[in-house]
Chains A and B, each alone.
Chain A
């Protein structure tokens, strides 16, 4: 999401070379670029101003020590500042109360509150083994209650029925009572979307908050939000004692400056990030990782976590052995690899988390090509017999025709795959000898031509 900002900063920092110390004049250009980049990323202007002046103050006079370039020294300062702005480490939902722990959701229309309720419910149920009840106090939008009911069903959590004719407070209190009597650990309260300037609606949610006295009041905010994020966040923060923020639609290509703005204005931790349309798409938000990611240091920690989730441990071990021996890497393994990459969210998701240089290189690919390509490759391999997969060299003209027909592709595509496979076999050997650097170089040659 924030990759454009990353690239931009990377470019700026290159221009700062060969200076012994950071001065007001030699970082002026760089800071202007940072300012532009942040503004383009929809970070609110007041936040940008504060940020730039803080960075300037800290950067000026900073010695460029040792092997660092001035650019790197400035990146260091920007990173520290950004990490500070993004806040402390992730905090989950607090359960420090007599059950049920009530969580109230608030936000603008279309921020993703209902979906987030479903995701959060599933998350709490599956990762923390909580008994979750959800209730909708949105008596305004048609079928909003219906939507939550259906979301709750998909998430496998309990749903407290309500109807559009009731008062939001009455619904919420009835649900809290029900949760108490049925030993639910958590009650998630969905509310109607509202504009911060809609006094009547803000008063309603204030009353709702007073009646429920929730342990968590989460502000759900769209990561794509523009400059107004500041005003909206401020208004909600003033109206309600917020305890945290949920950032939604983080998988879009918005640069997500709203995250910085909201954090800066409310001072409340961003607790979760919503990604993807599936109910499993809720991640703990890691401010320090986000700061690193903005600066192109790559979100390697998340990548490792993803890998752990997605990979079949046994297979990975077996594969590592094969890799080490440099022998026996056949099309079956190739297919497994593709499958595992899929599980980890596909190539795009992986590249997103890599350091800027790598992502930049891969970014030259046409968008979407890699996903399509992966599917096609899988199809071709699926059309082969086990013997062919184990020994691709036996595939000659007639087999190629059969495989092509089976996969619904041209013979050339089969040829291309076989060539690529040969290349990747070589790559695997390089990897065992030369490490990741060579591997990346190998990939560069291999990717763009694939799967047309």
Chain B
């Protein structure tokens, strides 16, 4: 989606205080979403070329948003917002309409940009949750690298004691990045994570990343199990977990909302990781989340490389869609 943000006018201003690694990341972000833009191509240009916000434009835009997983409610919201802007600002050029829609989008997803601050606790315990196949273990590997690059010491807890070879997968990541992985032959995820946090305390580790097995919100016994993991973490560290990240696959449709709600109920989600954003019609679900169950998006993933998981920046994100 979002090629409708493609500016025909001037280039967007790069953020003033861009960190050193920003250009390559921005490039990658742009590249990751390039396919998304290319897919729609001239279609949106045609829509906007009408030059005024009328019913036909809105209807075509609605289709566009719906096919991008924005969802009915958020689509309606964005269209209403656009209509409001059209009334106020007399949008009469394609560029103006495009900018107005981009503005509406930034306003919607902007509040989700809240970077994760890991400085206030040591060890900073991050619990990872999500459905099967969302990319939890892979994200943990990437996060470990990310925190290491910031000079933090990291410890991984192989809390996925259910899936075959999940432990080995995490250990492989640990070896690659030279990170200690705490694991047990089998057994209780809560116990593994308990041990890991105790070890982190003893060794003065900065960040603990606790993996958990994938589970669907309908599997109530598993949702209770993960609630227990959380309780056990609180036993070893009453202030923890300092962050509970829900990993969402951007390919998932409106069920993402259900997932956020269900996991929030079980383990009080404090942030989201949106993975697999590189692809075709993705990204819309971010808007749906912003509208219906806003949670800070801490990280987004736009590629398979180890550096392709980075903090979410609403401006960069929309800019990348703008181009």
When distances are taken between beta carbons in the complex, the residues of chain A under 8 Å from B169 are 141-144, 146-147
- With contacts A143-B168, A253-B216 taken as known, whether A231 is within 8 angstroms of B281 at the C-beta atoms is yes
Taking Cβ atoms with an 8 Å cutoff, the residues of B that contact A are: 35, 39, 63, 66-69, 71-72, 131-135, 138, 141, 162-166, 168-169, 171-173, 176, 215-222, 224, 249, 251-256, 258, 262, 276, 278-282, 284-285
Distance in angstroms between the alpha carbons of A253 and B162 in the assembled complex: 21
Complex A-B, nearest 8 residue pairs according to Cβ-Cβ distance, in ascending order = A226-B253, A110-B133, A142-B172, A42-B253, A147-B165, A150-B164, A143-B168, A143-B169
Question: Contact check: which of A195, A251, A255 meets B278 at CB < 8 Å?
Answer: A195
Nearest B-chain residue to A193, judged by Cβ: B133
A226 touches B251 (CB 8 A): yes
B134 touches A258 (CB 8 A): no
When distances are taken between beta carbons in the complex, the residues of chain A under 8 Å from B255 are 42, 224, 226, 252-255
- Tally of A-B residue pairs with Cβ under 8 A? 155
Distance in angstroms between the alpha carbons of A251 and B255 in the assembled complex: 13
- With contacts A227-B66, A249-B132 taken as known, whether A40 is within 8 angstroms of B221 at the C-beta atoms is no
Question: Contact check: which of A115, A251, A371 meets B221 at CB < 8 Å?
Answer: A371
A111 touches B133 (CB 8 A): yes
When distances are taken between beta carbons in the complex, the residues of chain A under 8 Å from B256 are 226
5 A–B contact pairs at CB < 8 A?
Answer: A44-B67, A146-B169, A147-B169, A226-B281, A227-B69
Nearest A-chain residue to B217, judged by Cβ: A253
Distance in angstroms between the alpha carbons of A110 and B222 in the assembled complex: 19
Question: Contact check: which of B63, B135, B217 meets A110 at CB < 8 Å?
Answer: B135
B164 touches A154 (CB 8 A): yes
Distance in angstroms between the alpha carbons of A40 and B254 in the assembled complex: 7
- With contacts A195-B279, A197-B280, A252-B131 taken as known, whether A368 is within 8 angstroms of B168 at the C-beta atoms is no
B254 touches A42 (CB 8 A): yes
Distance in angstroms between the alpha carbons of A276 and B163 in the assembled complex: 12
B278 touches A258 (CB 8 A): no
Distance in angstroms between the alpha carbons of A115 and B164 in the assembled complex: 9
Distance in angstroms between the alpha carbons of A371 and B251 in the assembled complex: 31
When distances are taken between beta carbons in the complex, the residues of chain A under 8 Å from B282 are 228
B253 touches A252 (CB 8 A): no
Nearest B-chain residue to A153, judged by Cβ: B164
- With contacts A228-B282, A249-B131 taken as known, whether A367 is within 8 angstroms of B220 at the C-beta atoms is yes
Question: Contact check: which of A40, A143, A251 meets B219 at CB < 8 Å?
Answer: A251
Distance in angstroms between the alpha carbons of A39 and B35 in the assembled complex: 24
When distances are taken between beta carbons in the complex, the residues of chain B under 8 Å from A42 are 69, 253-255
B68 touches A150 (CB 8 A): no
When distances are taken between beta carbons in the complex, the residues of chain A under 8 Å from B215 are 277
A232 touches B164 (CB 8 A): no
Distance in angstroms between the alpha carbons of A41 and B215 in the assembled complex: 20
Taking Cβ atoms with an 8 Å cutoff, the residues of A that contact B are: 36, 39-42, 44-46, 108-112, 114-115, 118, 141-144, 146-151, 154, 195-197, 222, 224-229, 231-232, 249, 251-255, 257-258, 276-277, 348, 367-368, 371
Nearest CB of A to B235, in Å: 22
Nearest CB of A to B72, in Å: 6
When distances are taken between beta carbons in the complex, the residues of chain B under 8 Å from A368 are 220, 224
When distances are taken between beta carbons in the complex, the residues of chain A under 8 Å from B253 are 42, 224-227, 229, 254, 257-258
When distances are taken between beta carbons in the complex, the residues of chain B under 8 Å from A224 are 131, 249, 252-253, 255
A222 touches B251 (CB 8 A): yes
When distances are taken between beta carbons in the complex, the residues of chain A under 8 Å from B254 are 40-42, 226, 255
Distance in angstroms between the alpha carbons of A189 and B281 in the assembled complex: 29
Distance in angstroms between the alpha carbons of A114 and B216 in the assembled complex: 17
Nearest CB of A to B156, in Å: 13
Distance in angstroms between the alpha carbons of A84 and B110 in the assembled complex: 44
Nearest A-chain residue to B134, judged by Cβ: A110
A112 touches B69 (CB 8 A): no
Distance in angstroms between the alpha carbons of A316 and B215 in the assembled complex: 34
A196 touches B217 (CB 8 A): no
- With contacts A42-B253, A277-B162 taken as known, whether A197 is within 8 angstroms of B133 at the C-beta atoms is no
When distances are taken between beta carbons in the complex, the residues of chain B under 8 Å from A226 are 69, 251-256, 281, 285
Nearest CB of A to B183, in Å: 12
Distance in angstroms between the alpha carbons of A147 and B170 in the assembled complex: 12
Nearest B-chain residue to A375, judged by Cβ: B221
B133 touches A222 (CB 8 A): yes
When distances are taken between beta carbons in the complex, the residues of chain A under 8 Å from B35 are 197
- With contacts A110-B132, A225-B252, A232-B280 taken as known, whether A45 is within 8 angstroms of B165 at the C-beta atoms is no
When distances are taken between beta carbons in the complex, the residues of chain B under 8 Å from A44 are 67
Distance in angstroms between the alpha carbons of A40 and B279 in the assembled complex: 21
Kindly list 4 other residue pairs between chains A and B, CB separation below 8 angstroms, not including A147-B168, A277-B222. Answer: A144-B165, A146-B164, A146-B168, A226-B251
When distances are taken between beta carbons in the complex, the residues of chain A under 8 Å from B67 are 44-46, 227
B72 touches A40 (CB 8 A): yes
B218 touches A251 (CB 8 A): yes
When distances are taken between beta carbons in the complex, the residues of chain A under 8 Å from B172 are 142-143
When distances are taken between beta carbons in the complex, the residues of chain B under 8 Å from A114 are 164
When distances are taken between beta carbons in the complex, the residues of chain B under 8 Å from A112 are 132-133
B72 touches A110 (CB 8 A): no
Nearest CB of B to A357, in Å: 21
Distance in angstroms between the alpha carbons of A206 and B132 in the assembled complex: 27
Nearest CB of B to A39, in Å: 6
Distance in angstroms between the alpha carbons of A300 and B252 in the assembled complex: 29
When distances are taken between beta carbons in the complex, the residues of chain A under 8 Å from B131 are 224, 249, 252
A251 touches B133 (CB 8 A): no
Question: Contact check: which of B72, B168, B222, B281 meets A228 at CB < 8 Å?
Answer: B281
Question: Contact check: which of B39, B71, B165 meets A149 at CB < 8 Å?
Answer: B165
Nearest A-chain residue to B279, judged by Cβ: A195
